[in-house]
Amino acid sequence: MCQIQSFLDYLSLEKRYSYNTIKSYQTDLKLFESFLKNTYDISIEKTDQNMTRSWLVNEIKKGNSSRTVNRKITTLKSFFKFLVKIGEITQNPTLKITSSKTTKKIPQFVGLEDMNRILDNIKFKKNFSGFRDKLIVEIFYSTGMRLSELINIKINDFDVSKGVIKVLGKRNKERFIPLTKELQKSLDNYLVFRAKHLQINHSYLLVTDLGKKLNPSMVYRKVNDILNRVTTLEKKSPHILRHTFATHMLNNGADLNVIKELLGHASLSATEVYTHNSIEQLKKVFNRSHPRA
């Protein structure tokens, strides 16, 4: 267990991984450690390639998707590479283990008309929670930021003179996202309402009715309730609004590299999945417009 904790500390302090990523690594390693103990009665640093493969096969039999199993493989590879680095083991038992190919799902997104209905037609309560809940949706849709990034926004992250917001993304990587005029106006109105009706000492922008920092589950629930009013999409999460931001930007002519920077993706391959949505949009227009389609 001490090796696992040392590894998690390494991810946090040196690699600067996010809390959620570290939590996923911890969960995978604890499951693996428990499997080794119950099946082979050995500690994690004494595993070999066959034992490691056995666990992965066991995870597949449980019904885990290829994507989930690949994440577990990544966890093990990183962990054992770390153990070799610090001299705990001499051979990495995952060197010959490869991830399986996965098909990238086309991201779901909210249609433009439905987003306009949310922002222009839905009546939110004329109180603090109403202003805040609508602003949450506006920020997601106008910036494409992640849930973890939204709840950590601070008031001084906004540069009104430049019309941008500073976002702290994965691995503490900063990026700046332009603010639309509508979002700037909504932010101004919210801050006036916030100062007038709440006595808040901390610097976080979005807070609960009691003035405390938002938690992820609350934001997820709020977004889900709002999207339920306009869409029948299976998933109605904050991440759907991130997909919506990227898809609408691409459909309106934004360069893929620009979207990559705005989303905070490390590589262009992660952003390219949105081109599938754009192609589907082109197909719809083609089939609707061409006389022989």
Burial label, 96 (beta-carbon count in 10 A; 0-12, 13-18, 19+):
exposed
* The one-letter amino acid at 200: I
DSSP state of 237: S
Residue 276 designated active-site: no
Task: Please tell me which residue in 146, 236, 243, 248 is annotated as part of the active site.
Answer: 146
Task: Please tell me which residue in 53, 71, 117, 239 is annotated as part of the active site.
Answer: 239
Contact, 170 vs 145, CB < 8 A? no
Contact, 46 vs 58, CB < 8 A? no
**CA–CA separation, 82 and 45 (whole Å):** 11
Residue 146 designated active-site: yes
Query: HSE on the CB side for 70, CA within 13 Å?
Result: 9
Alpha-carbon dihedral 196, 201, 202, 207, rounded to 10 degrees: -40
Map residue 167 onto helix, strand or coil: strand
Residue 221 designated active-site: no
Task: Please tell me which residue in 53, 71, 117, 170 is annotated as part of the active site.
Answer: 170
Residue 170 designated active-site: yes
Residue 242 designated active-site: yes
Residue 243 designated active-site: no
Task: Please tell me which residue in 194, 236, 242, 243 is annotated as part of the active site.
Answer: 242
Catalytic residues: 146, 170, 239, 242, 265, 274
